[in-house]
Amino acid sequence: MMMNMAAARPLTPQPTAPDAIVEIRGISKTYGADVEALRNIDLDLPRGKLTSLLGPSGCGKTTLLKIVAGLIPPSAGTVRVAGKLVEGPGPERAFVFQDFALMPWATVLRNVGFGLELRGVGRTEREATAHRYIAEVGLVGFEQKYPHELSGGMRQRVGLARALSVDAEVLLLDEPFSAVDEQNRRKFQEDLIRLRTTQNKTFIFVTHSIEEAVYLSDRIVLLSPRPGRISGIVEPNIDRSGNPDDIRRDQRYLDAVEEIWQGLRKYVE
Amino acid sequence: MANEVGTEREAFGLAPTATGQRTVAARFVDRPVVWRLLSIILFALIWEIAGRVPVSFAFPTFSATAVAFAEMMVSGELPKAYLSTLQPLILGIVLSTVLGVGLGILCGLWRPGEFMAIPIFIVLQAAPVAAFIPLVTFVYGIGIAAKTLAVMLLALPVIVLNSYKAVRNVNASLLDMCRSFLGSQRQAIMKIMLPDASPVIFAGLRLGVAAGFVGVVLAELLITPTGIGDLITFHRSRADYAEMYATIASIIALSTVTLIALQWAELRFLRPEKRSAAR
Amino acid sequence: MTIFGFRIPIMASLIVWAILWEIVGRLDLVFLLPPFSEVLGAAVDLVQTPSWQTATVTTLRSFVVGMALSIIVGIPLGFLMGRVKVADDLLGMWVNVFSSAPLSALVPVLMILFGFGERTIVAAVFLFSVWIIVLDTRAGILHVSPSLVEMARSYGASRKALYGKILLWAALPEILAGVRLGLIRGVKGVVIGQLLVAIVGYGALFETFSRNFRMAQFWALTIILFAFAMVVAELIERVERKVEYYAGAR
C-alpha cells in the first residue's frame, strides 16, 4: 500500500521500531561555513529490507549514506548500526562505490577478496570465499581478468561481490548502477532482486532514478535538496516474487512512480 | 598511431578504404617500424648532403662520422671512455633513485616535509642548476665524487617531484574504499598508494635518467674532462671533427636507447594502459 | 603544473630557508655560503655595475632572439606534425629523441659551427627550447575535438580560417604550456651555452666569480638568474590560466 505525500510519516523521532538495524538521529552535515548538506535527519532503516534514499542532486543522499558508512563524520547527531554507535567504518557495514573503486593492478579475484585481505584472512580461505561470490554475481570465468578488460557493468559486479564477501549485515550502495548503461542496469536490478532472496542482508541504496527506487525498494525515503531533509517516505509494497519483467507493468509500480514524480518535480522546475 | 579524424587527409575527404580492403601498400605504410627507418634514412641523407655542400668546414658528412665511430669502437677508444663516463652516471642515478623516491614519498605523506623540501626542489628543477656545477669542484675536487654529485644535482629534483606528485595524486576513491573495508593506514600505503603511484614514480625515474645524462655530460665538459667529455674536447682541439661528432652522436644515441628501454620496461611491467599515462 | 601556482606555501618555505641560510652564513659553517643578507647586499651592488648590466643585456638579447626563433619555428612545426600524418611519422622520432637527449653535448658542435660569440648562445637557446614547443603544440592540435573541426568545415571555413580561428585557439592552452616549458629550457640553454663558451654574458661572470671565490656575488647572480626564470614561468602561467577557462569544455 502506498502513501501519498500528505500521509507521509512525520519528521519527529519515532519510537525505535523493533526491526530497525540503522538508527539515524538528528544528523546534520555542514561543509565549510555555509553549505548545509543535511539538516536534522531522523530515520530508522528496517532490518532485512531494501531502503532507497531518493532525491534530486544536492539533496545530500550520498552524504547521508557515507555518514552511515562511517566514511564522513557528521556535524551533529548520531548513527547507530545494530545498536552500536558509528564512529568510522565497521565490519557490519560494506560499501559499494559509484565509480567501482577497483584496483586496476589487481585481478578480479584479488579485488573481490580485498576486504578479507585487509582483515588478515588467509589466502586459501579468502580465494574460496571470493570464488563463491564471483559465482553469485555471475562472473565465473573472469577471475583472472583485470578491471580494464571488463565492461562497466562487470566492474560493478566485482564491487558488489567484494562487498558481499565480507559478510556484513548492512550493504550500502552509492548509485551503483549510474555509471552503467541502460541494458546492463536493468539486468543488474533484476539480479539484485534475485540476490535478495539468497542474501539475508539489509540494503541501503542511493539513487536518483525514481523507477529504480520503486522497482527495487521495500521502502523509499524521499529527500529534498538545499538543505537535505526528509520530505516523505513511500512503501510501494509490490510483489516481487514472480517474473521480474512483470514488476514494471504492475499498477502499484506505475502509481508509485507517478506519485513520487509529482512530489519531486518542483525541485527541478 | 591510427588515422585520426581531423587530420588534413580526413578533413579533405581522403578517407582510407573500408577495412578488409586495405591495399598491401597501405598496410605496409601503417607499420611504425617502416616510418622510423625511413626517418633515419632521411636524416642520414640530409646530413650527408649538408656535409658535402660545405655548410661549414667543420661539418663532416654522415658517412665520415659513421666511419670515425666504427674506428673508435674498434680501437677501444670509445669503450674505454664510456667505462669512465658511466661510473659517475650510474652511481649518481642509483643514489638519486634511492634518495629521490624515498624523499618524494616522504614529502607526499608528511606535510612538514612537503612544506620544507618541495619548494626547494621546484626551484632546482626549473632553474639552470648547470651554474652550480663548477662550484661542485670546490667542495669535491675534480674526481668521480664531483661528477656523481653533478649527476645527482640534475636527476634528484625531477625524481623527488615525480614521486611526490605520484603519492599526492593517488586515487581518492581507492583510498576511501580501503578505509571502508577497515584498512589501516599502513595497509593503505602499502596496498593502495604505492601500487597506484608506481607508474608516475617510474616515469620520474625515466626523466631522472635523462637528466642524469645531461649532468654527466655537463660535468665532463665543465669540470676536468674524462671519458666522453675528454674525447670531445680532445678531438675538437685536433680538428678531428668526424671523431668529435661521432662521440657526441654516440652519447645521444646511448641516452635515447636507455630511455626507450626504460619506457618499454614501464609498459611491460607496470601496464599503464590500466591507468592514465604519467607526464 | 599547478604546484607552480601554489604561491603561499612556496613563499613561506623559501623564507624559512633564507633564514636558515642567514644563520649558516653567520656561523661560517660552510665556506661557500656567506650570510643571506650579504648575498642580498651583493645583489644590490651587482645590479649597479656596468659589467653586470652589459652581461644582462647580452644574455637577455641571446635569450629573447633564441626563444623567438624557437617559437616561430616550433609552433608551425607542431601544427604540421599534428595535422599531416606523414610529417609526424617522419619527424616524430627525432623531435622525441632531441627533447630528452643531453643537448649540452651538442654545444661544442655549435661552438665550432658558430664561433665563440653570441650566435652560438642563440643557437643553444633555440636548440634547448624548440623541441618541447613542437611536442606540446602537436599535442594541442591532436587534442582538438574532431567535432570542432567538422563544425568549422560544415560552415564552410577555409584552410586559413580553420587554422587561425579554430585550431590555434583550441590548442592554445597546450601551446602556452609548451612555451612555458620552452622558456625554462631556454634559460638552461643560455646558461649552459654561456658556461661552455665562458667569455660572454652571465657565463663569463659566473666563471669570474667562482674562480675568484667571490661567493656573495656568485650567489647574488644565481638568485637573480633563478628569480628571472621563475618570474617568466609564472607570467606565462598567468596567461595560461586566462586561457584555461575553456580548456575543460573543448
- Side chain identity at residue A10, one-letter code: P
Average pLDDT over all residues of chain B: 82
Question: In the complex, which subunits touch B with 3 or more CB pairs below 8 angstroms?
Answer: A, C
Chain C hits for B131, Cβ within 8 Å? 191, 195, 202, 206, 222, 225
Whether residue A10 is predicted with pLDDT greater than 70 in this model: the reply is: no
pLDDT at site B8: 41
Chain B window 147-166: which residues touch C at a Cβ cutoff of 8 Å? Answer: 161, 165
Q: Is pLDDT larger for residue A3 or for residue A120?
A: A120
B41 burial via Cβ count (<10 Å: 0-12, 13-18, 19+): exposed
Q: Which residues, 6+ apart, have CB-to-CB distance to C120 below 8 Å? A: C107, C110, C111, C113, C114, C193, C197
pLDDT digits (tens, 9 = 90+) for C68-105: 999 999 999 999 999 998 888 888 889 999 998 999 89
Distance from CA of A48 to the nearest CA of B (A): 21
State whether C102 and B256 contact (CB < 8 Å): no
CB-CB contact of A214 with A250 (8 Å): no
Point out the residue among B130, B210, B256 whose CB comes nearest to the CB of C191. Answer: B130
| Contact with chain C for residue B16, Cβ under 8 A | no
Q: Choose, out of C83, C91, C93, the residue to mutate when testing the contact with B (most B CBs < 10 Å).
A: C93
In tens, the pLDDT along B15-64 reads: 444 444 456 656 656 667 788 888 888 888 888 888 887 667 778 888 88
Distance of CA A250 to the CA centre of its chain: 23
Contact A100, A162 (CB under 8 A): no
The pLDDT of B234-244, averaged and rounded, is 87
Tell me if chain A has a CB within 8 Å of the CB of B194. no
A146·B274 Cβ contact <8 A:
yes
Does B245 reach chain C within 8 Å, measured CB to CB? yes
**ipTM of the complex model:** 0.82
Phi first, then psi: give them for residue A39, nearest 5 degrees. -130, 115
- What is the pTM for the complete model shown? 0.80
pLDDT value at position C250? 55
Q: Can you give the pLDDT at residue A195?
A: 86
Specify the pLDDT at position C247: 67
**Could you tell me which residues are beta bridge partners of residue A203?**
A50, A171
| Out of B96-105, C136-145, C152-161, C176-185, least confident range | C152-161
Q: What is the pLDDT of residue B275?
A: 45
Whether residues A101 and B174 touch (CB distance < 8 A) is answered with: yes
Contacting subunits of A (3+ beta carbon pairs below 8 A): B
What confidence score (pLDDT) does residue C7 get? Answer: 52
Question: Domain residue spans in chain C?
Answer: 8-26+34-42, 47-244
Averaged over A185-201, what is the pLDDT? 87
Domain ranges of chain A: 10-28+69-90, 91-206, 207-264
Please tell me the CATH superfamily of domain B66-274, with its number. Answer: MetI-like (1.10.3720.10)
Comparing A33 with B96, the larger pLDDT belongs to B96
pLDDT, average across residues B190-218? 91
Cβ atoms of residues B173 and A101 within 8 Å: yes
Reported as a pLDDT band with limits 50, 70 and 90, residue B12 is very low
Peptide bond connecting A227 to the previous residue in cis, omega within 30 degrees of 0:
yes
To the nearest whole Å, the CA of B201 is away from the closest chain A CA by: 15
DSSP codes joined into one string, C92-134? HHHHHHHHHS-GGGGHHHHHHHH-SSHHHHHHHHHHHHHHHHH
Interchain contact, A118 vs B180, CB within 8 Å: no
Contact yes or no, B with A (3+ CB pairs under 8 Å): yes
- Residue-wise pLDDT for B170-192, tens only, equals 999 999 999 999 999 999 999 99
Task: Please answer whether residues C131 and C181 qualify as being in contact, where contact means their C-beta atoms are separated by less than 8 angstroms.
Answer: no
Instruction: Write the pLDDT tens digit of every residue in C101-142.
Output: 999 899 988 988 888 888 899 999 999 999 999 999 999 999
Residue A74 vs residues A57, A63, A206, A231, B1: alpha-carbon distances, Å = 19, 9, 18, 20, 50
Instruction: Tell me if residue B140 falls in helix, strand or coil.
Output: helix
Reported as type and span, the H/E element at residue C196 is helix C172-197
Residues above pLDDT 70, as percent of chain A: 93
Task: List the single residue in A with minimal CA-CA distance to B271.
Answer: A105
Touching status, chains A and C (3+ beta-carbon pairs under 8 Å): no
Highest mean pLDDT among A109-123, A185-199, C18-32: A109-123
Q: Is A100 left (phi over 0), alpha (psi -120 to 50) or beta?
A: left
Q: Do C13 and B120 touch (CB under 8 A)?
A: yes
Closest Cβ opposite residue B181 in set A118, A146, A148: A118
Exposure string of B242-267, with b = 16+ CB inside 10 Å and e = fewer, is bbbbbbbbbbbebbbebbeebeeebe
Percent of chain B with pLDDT over 70: 85
Is B210 close to C142, i.e. CB distance below 8 A? no
CATH 1.10.3720.10 domain position(s) in chain B: 66-274
Q: Least CA distance to B228: which residue of chain C?
A: C105
- Restricting to C residues 158-217, those with a Cβ less than 8 Å away from any Cβ of B are 184, 187-188, 190-192, 195-196, 202, 206-207, 210
CA distance B252 to chain C (A): 6
Domain C47-244 has CATH 2.60.40.10: no
Contacts of A90 (CB under 8 A, 6+ apart): A70, A81, A84, B182
Nearest chain A CA: its distance from B170 CA (Å): 12
CA angle A237, A243, A248 (to 5 degrees): 55
Q: Contacts from B239-242 at CB under 8 Å and sequence distance 24+?
A: B239/B58, B240/B68, B241/B58, B241/B59, B241/B60, B241/C112, B242/B60, B242/B64, B242/B65, B242/B67, B242/B68
Closest CB from B173, B187, B273 relative to A101:
B173
Mean pLDDT of chain A: 87
CB burial string C167-199: b at 16+ within 10 A, e below: bbebbbbbbbbbbbbbbbbbbbbbbbbbbbbbe
Q: Which fold does the domain A91-206 belong to in CATH?
A: Rossmann fold (3.40.50)
Model confidence at A65, pLDDT cuts 50, 70, 90, reads very high
pLDDT in the model for residue B10: 35
The rounded distance, in Å, linking the Cα atoms of C123 and C65 is: 9
Contact A101 B182 (CB under 8 A): no
Q: Given CB atoms, is B124 within the 8 Å cutoff of chain C?
A: no
- What DSSP state is assigned to residue A86? P
Going by their DSSP bridges, the two strands A76-81 and A84-85 should be labelled as antiparallel
Shortest alpha-carbon distance between residue B81 and chain C (Å)? 15
**Residue B28: per-residue pLDDT:** 59
Cβ pairs bridging B and C (under 8 Å): 164
Q: Do C104 and B138 lie within an 8 Å CB cutoff?
A: no
* Minimum CA–CA partner of C12 in chain B: B115
Give the residue from C146, C148, C141, C129 showing the smallest Cα distance to C175: C141
pLDDT-derived band at C157 (thresholds 50, 70, 90) equals: confident
Cβ(C137)–Cβ(C82) below 8 Å: yes
The answer, for C4 touching chain B at a CB cutoff of 8 Å, is yes
Which of residues C243 and B215 earns the better pLDDT score? Answer: B215
C and B touching (3 or more beta-carbon pairs closer than 8 Å) = yes
| Set of chain B residues whose Cβ sits within 8 Å of the Cβ of C226 | 123, 126-128
Phi, psi angle pair for B236, to nearest 5°: -65, -40
Q: How far apart are CA A120 and CA C142, in angstroms?
A: 48
Q: Any chain B CB within 8 A of the CB of C157?
A: no
